[in-house]
Structure 1
Amino acid sequence: MYFLIWGFLVWLGATLIFRFFGHFFFHPENALLLLLSYLLVVPVIALLTYPLYKLKDLTKEERLKAAMFIALPGMFIDTVVLVIFPDVFTNLPVQSDRYFGSWLLWAYSLILITGLPLKKREGGDK
């Protein structure tokens, strides 16, 4: 339950950021900003997941479950949000919905990847 709540809070925070500041990230005419938004989410996702896994002292199997539970709330909610994109993200041009949707898939994929083992360790399963 902890990771579902964390996932919801991450989704809420990201949605509020893009609701009010999304025009800085998802403007179809500005390829550099689009590229930066894809690149900058990599360390952000790492900061939102890896320290939490360490804090909770999760095993490999638990990390994968935690990553899924972190990603699920946003994935479910964003299926609706993307349908009503112009109403939620009033500061973004409607044409940016495809870039935003693509970015969401990228971000959720990154969350799921954080649940995979980084490297094989000898003598333990953490």
Structure 2
Amino acid sequence: MFFLIWGFLVWLGATAIFRFSGHLFFSNENLFTLGASYLLVIPLVLAITLPLYYFKNVTGEKRLKAAVFIALPGMILDVLVLLYFSQIFVNLSAEMDQYFASWLLLAYSTILITGIFSKQKKK
């Protein structure tokens, strides 16, 4: 349950950030910032997942389950968010929806990948 709640809170925070300042990240005028958004999502996802696995002592298959639980709330909610992209992200141009959607896929894929690789404890 902890990881589902964490996933929801991460989704809520990210959605709020992009709702109010998404134009700073997703803009055709600034390709450097757009590219940086794609590159920075990977270390950001690592920072919001790996420490949790460590502190909660989650390894093996439980780690994969935790990663799924972190990603699932956002993946489900972003179905609606993307359907109403123009109404939710009023500060982004409508043609940025494809970049935002691909960025989301990268973020969720990275979350899921963090659940696959786990150091096993030595016996």
TM-score range, shorter chain: over 0.9
Q: What is the CA–CA distance in structure 2 between the aligned matches of 1:61 and 1:91, rounded to whole Å?
A: 41
Q: Using the TM superposition, give the Cα deviation of residue 33 of structure 1 relative to its aligned residue in structure 2, in angstroms.
A: 1.2
Match of 2:90 in 1: 90
Matches within 5 A, 1:1-126: 1-118=1-118, 121=120, 123-124=122-123
Q: Is the 8 A contact 2:60 2:118 kept in 1?
A: no
Q: Using the TM superposition, give the Cα deviation of residue 118 of structure 1 relative to its aligned residue in structure 2, in angstroms.
A: 4.6
5+ long unaligned stretches in structure 2: none
Q: How many residues align?
A: 123
Q: What is the CA–CA distance in structure 2 between the aligned matches of 1:111 and 1:49, rounded to whole Å?
A: 7
Q: Using the TM superposition, give the Cα deviation of residue 16 of structure 1 relative to its aligned residue in structure 2, in angstroms.
A: 0.3
Q: Is the 8 A contact 1:63 1:116 kept in 2?
A: yes
TM-score normalised by length of structure 1:
0.93
More helix by share: 2
Q: What is the CA–CA distance in structure 2 between the aligned matches of 1:27 and 1:8, rounded to whole Å?
A: 26
Percent sequence identity over aligned pairs:
59
Q: What is the CA–CA distance in structure 2 between the aligned matches of 1:32 and 1:122, rounded to whole Å?
A: 41
- Counterpart of 1:123 in structure 2: which amino acid? K
Q: What is the CA–CA distance in structure 2 between the aligned matches of 1:111 and 1:31, rounded to whole Å?
A: 25
Where does structure 1 differ by over 6 angstroms across 4 or more consecutive aligned residues?
none
Cα 1:62–1:92 change in 2 (3 A) is same
* Cα deviation digits, residues 80-124 of structure 1 (max 9, x gap): 1000000100010111000000000000000001111255x5735
- CA RMSD in angstroms comes to 1.3
Q: Tell me, what secondary structure is at the counterpart of 2:90?
A: coil
Q: Is the 8 A contact 2:82 2:101 kept in 1?
A: yes
Q: Using the TM superposition, give the Cα deviation of residue 34 of structure 1 relative to its aligned residue in structure 2, in angstroms.
A: 1.1
Q: What is the CA–CA distance in structure 2 between the aligned matches of 1:48 and 1:25, rounded to whole Å?
A: 19
Q: Tell me, what secondary structure is at the counterpart of 1:115?
A: helix
